Amino acid sequence: MTRRLGLFAIAMVMVTATVAAAAAAPPPTPSFPPAIDNYGKKAPFKCDPTVKPGTKAFAELLRRTYGIGYSGLTRPCNATWGAKTSRHKMGMAVDWWVNVYTQEKRDIAQEVIDWLLATDEHGNRHANARRLGIVRIIWDDSIWSASTRKWSFYDARSICDIPTDRCRHRDHMHFTLSADGAYKRTSWWGTGMTAAITWKTGTPSWAMPYTQKAVEIGLLETFVRGDDVLQRHEVAVVFDRLGLLYGQPQPSSSKWTSGTPTASIKAMGRMVSIGYWSSSWVGSDDVQRYEMAAVFDRTGFLTGQPVAAPGTWEAGTPSWAHTVMGRAVSAGLLSKNVAGSRSLRRYEIAVVLDRLNLLASWREGTPAFAISAMADAVDHGLLSAQVPGNDVLERDEAAALFDRLGLLTAPAAAPSGNWESGTRDWFKPSMNKAVTQGIWAAHVKGSDTVTRYEFAVVLERFGFFAGQPIAAGGAWETGTPSWAHAAMGRAVSAGVLSGRVRGDDLVNRFEFAVVVDDRLGLLIDGD
């Protein structure tokens, strides 16, 4: 089992420090039918440092079985140790105090891991983790993630300046729970597989395919009912994940921050800056149909549409939104028989996004081996959810991605040059930095695509291949110019790029996602 990873420095009090000898058996496990919960997913971050019932019950299950204490069921919202969006601040995480210092504790830790991730008698992989809603396990420089179904290296330096044993999770094991697991809404607690079906609840059959697609690419959450109404901050996050708000500044705080959770502040602010929402509106207010029509109109999707014939859609639609609401109805995005003031439901936004072709899945053109990495890249906002995975990267886009990853430190002061040609306005600050820093040449157009050997050179300049040898001959040499030969060879040796692919082939989005996620570890979250 390949395992690695790392965390934060904390100072917490153990709930109980009593340590008993290792139990002869793992925690008592009920008998379950073949049906099983979906893999857990991290709940959207909103600080709420109250102990959730499922979190407490899971921690107590471990304590009763092994006599080993736990802590970290909550953490103050203003805590400066650990990750800013730690699920400890939501009452959805447990720190269990096993350690690597004795064989006894290592054996207990491994027993729990094996118990959580074992295949059950029905052939369900990772059965107990799924039934409990376990999203992540972090232990001894390693992390297991429900999204990838595998162990990978946990880089403690991403959370702590000094990677102590605490930060590396060598003196405790960390568990993150999904919302369903934290609230005891999973099959372990006898409440059925709600994690698998909640989004379907209230979603009519005709909307099911669209809502499912929106859930699959992370625009809507699995544990929220389909007929629940959307709030302004949620719509802001959806648009942000679709890449429609990138680059917008944050406006001064106003009413829009009221009711907007921390995780949605940036997206909500961008919506306000771009004029999609009024700064005088509360972020937690429900979204009305006429407001959604105005958003789509400002986004440019309703240009040229005629105003629909009179109908129920006019009821509750204010005069300023009359035209855009009529266009949305004409375009078939909203029903003419529904009042304009009625709140939007989740399944409705999924259908609208599908009709606008905004749900063209990133999964299209993404091979199976790259799915998890692409999912992480999309979740982190590095790649757009509506662009196929096999689309190629352009220089201005690559610059923005490196900038978001914090790799571009040069000030935006590059001289004017050909790099501005084809560079979209919202990517110009990042391209400026990239050119100033010598990542891209000033005489190359920003809209030019990125080849593998160029990508290798960029990564080498960032210091990712220090000490790597140059790979033996292979297809990678074909089309790789002499000045890029060493960098390309080292990238192949490091396993970042394939030795079987020509150096002048273009980099696809899924390849970029795999590189920054699995191979360079730049997408790892802390807990």
For 279-312, give the DSSP string.
TTS-TTSBPBHHHHHHHHHHHTSSTTPPPPPSSG
Query: Quick check: 147 and 39 in contact, CB under 8 A?
Result: yes
Q: Which CA distances in Å does 308 have to 223, 322, 477?
A: 36, 10, 60
Q: Which of 343, 296, 347, 283 is nearest to 316 (CA)?
A: 343
The angle formed by the CA atoms of residues 508, 214 and 362, to the nearest 5 degrees, is 5
From CA 72, how far away is CA 177, in angstroms rounded? 13
**HEC-encoded secondary structure of 181-202:** HHCCCCHHHCCCCHHHHHHHCC
Instruction: Read off the pLDDT band of 197 (50, 70, 90).
Output: low
DSSP 516: I
Amino acid 17: pLDDT:
37
Instruction: Read off the pLDDT band of 243 (50, 70, 90).
Output: confident
From CA 394, how far away is CA 458, in angstroms rounded? 14
Q: Which of 403, 388, 527, 504 is nearest to 455 (CA)?
A: 504
Instruction: Read off the pLDDT band of 493 (50, 70, 90).
Output: very high
Question: Over the stretch 304-354, which tens digit does the pLDDT of each residue have?
Answer: 899 999 999 999 999 999 999 999 999 999 999 999 999 999 999 999 998
**Res 21 pLDDT > 70:** no
Amino acid 525: pLDDT:
56
End-to-end CA distance of the chain: 22
What does pLDDT average to over the chain?
85
Question: Over the stretch 6-18, which tens digit does the pLDDT of each residue have?
Answer: 333 333 333 333 3
Bridge pairing between strands 134-139 and 173-177: antiparallel
- Range of weakest confidence among 127-141, 184-198, 399-413, 457-471: 184-198
**Res 40 pLDDT > 90:** no
Amino acid 6: pLDDT:
35
Higher-confidence residue: 405 or 44? Answer: 405
Query: Quick check: 480 and 431 in contact, CB under 8 A?
Result: no
- The H or E element containing residue 239 is helix 232-241
- In this structure, how many other beta carbons lie within 10 angstroms of the beta carbon of residue 523? 18
Non-local CB neighbours of 218 within 8 Å, separated by 6+ positions = 241, 375, 378, 379, 385
Q: Which of 376, 379, 349, 374 is nearest to 362 (CA)?
A: 374
Report percent pLDDT > 70 for the chain: 93
From the number of C-beta atoms within 10 Å of its C-beta (0-12, 13-18, 19+), residue 134 rates as buried
Non-local CB neighbours of 486 within 8 Å, separated by 6+ positions = 460, 470
From CA 252, how far away is CA 336, in angstroms rounded? 37
**Res 1 pLDDT > 60:** no
Question: What's the token pair of residue 429?
Answer: 């600050």
From CA 155, how far away is CA 142, in angstroms rounded? 8
- Alpha carbon 229 to its chain's center: 22
Q: What residue type is assigned to position 284 of the chain?
A: S
From CA 169, how far away is CA 385, in angstroms rounded? 33
Query: Quick check: 166 and 10 in contact, CB under 8 A?
Result: yes
Higher-confidence residue: 333 or 368? Answer: 333
From CA 107, how far away is CA 423, in angstroms rounded? 55
From CA 477, how far away is CA 285, in angstroms rounded? 57
Give the CA count within 13 Å in the CB-facing half-sphere of 279.
Answer: 9
